[in-house]
Amino acid sequence: MNDPLSTTFAALADPTRRAILARLVSGEASVTQLAEPFQISLPAVSKHLKVLERAGLIARTHEAQWRPCRLSARPLKDVSDWLSHYRRFWEESFDRLDDYLHELQSKEKRNVRRHHKDHRS
Amino acid sequence: MNDPLSTTFAALADPTRRAILARLVSGEASVTQLAEPFQISLPAVSKHLKVLERAGLIARTHEAQWRPCRLSARPLKDVSDWLSHYRRFWEESFDRLDDYLHELQSKEKRNVRRHHKDHRS
């Protein structure tokens, strides 16, 4: 029912699911291996994996009996494409912050110079 | 309670909220202006704005009485930083697709050449 981008964002809105993706960066893993670092039950991990699989963020091999999970990054490319429309906004705001810091620094320098001048006179 | 990244992703997991952000790309707007393109009530729009505001994706000016909303892109930078760890995965998978297409094309060429050769002999 949901659009693909909403499904992707909803799947990513959970720290355990993001940790699972981070683990898969270093290669495919079984459900048991993925569950190891978490203080949650195997069924809870399976539930998270289903959410990730439905969003197309992981794929499970049917070849091996242990059905390893692997990362499937295509939906993340769509997130990146969506984000690109907003890039200039955070770059601009950092530019503004940069301008502000430069302004503060030159004000500071002027003050220091004035102080020295006052001191000499 | 949620971590900031989860809050951001949850806020983005809705097409109306993403459409509101897209509208704010062209400048600040009032709640009434933001509600215009949608077939939803003003309170429903306000609810979406609250989710976006809580995630730090929009900010509302207190100066003007009509309290315009503006885009606040900082959380999107954090999403972009998070995404950067996965970039090589979608780039790699496109490279693999590229390799596959090239392989197909050269196979096709070889077939065409063979066909011509057979035809001449």
At position A49, the amino acid (one-letter code) is L
- Give whole-number Cα distances, A95 to A98, A100, B22, in Å: 5, 9, 21
Chain A interface, Cβ < 8 Å to B:
3, 5-7, 9-10, 12-15, 18, 21-22, 25, 71, 73-74, 76-77, 79-80, 82-83, 85-87, 89-90, 93
pLDDT, tens only, A33-46: 999 988 888 899 99
pLDDT value for A104: 74
ipTM for this model: 0.77
The Cα-based distances of B12 to A14, A100, B7, B82 in angstroms read 13, 30, 9, 15
Least Cα distance to A33 among A115, A25, A24 occurs for A24
CA–CA min distance B106, chain A (Å): 26
Task: Write phi, then psi, for B11 (nearest 5 degrees).
Answer: -65, -35
* pLDDT of chain B, 121 residues: tens digit per residue: 589 999 999 999 999 999 999 999 999 999 999 999 888 888 999 999 999 999 999 998 877 677 899 999 999 999 999 999 999 888 876 666 667 677 777 777 777 777 666 666 4
Distance CA A107, CA A113 (A): 10
With beta carbons under 8 A apart, name residues in chain A contacting B90: 73-74, 76-77, 80
C-beta of residue A116 within 8 angstroms of C-beta of residue B109: no
What is the spatial distance between Cα B3 and Cα A15, in angstroms, rounded to a whole number?
8
> Between A52 and B39, where is the model more confident?
A52
* A2-27: pLDDT as tens digits: 899 999 999 999 999 999 999 999 99
How much is the pLDDT for A91? 83
Q: Is B29 helix (H, G, I), strand (E, B) or coil?
A: strand
The conformational region for residue B38 under phi > 0 = left, psi -120 to 50 = alpha, else beta, is beta
Residue A2 vs residue A28, higher pLDDT: A28
**pLDDT tens track for A84-119:** 999 988 887 666 666 766 777 777 777 767 766 666
What's the rounded Cα separation, in Å, for the pair B34 and B94? 38
Residue A29 is classified by DSSP as: B
Kindly report the pTM of this predicted structure.
Answer: 0.78
Say what the pLDDT of residue A98 is.
Answer: 66
Confirm if A69 and A34 have CB atoms less than 8 A apart.
Answer: yes
Whether A76 and B86 have beta carbons less than 8 Å apart is answered as: yes
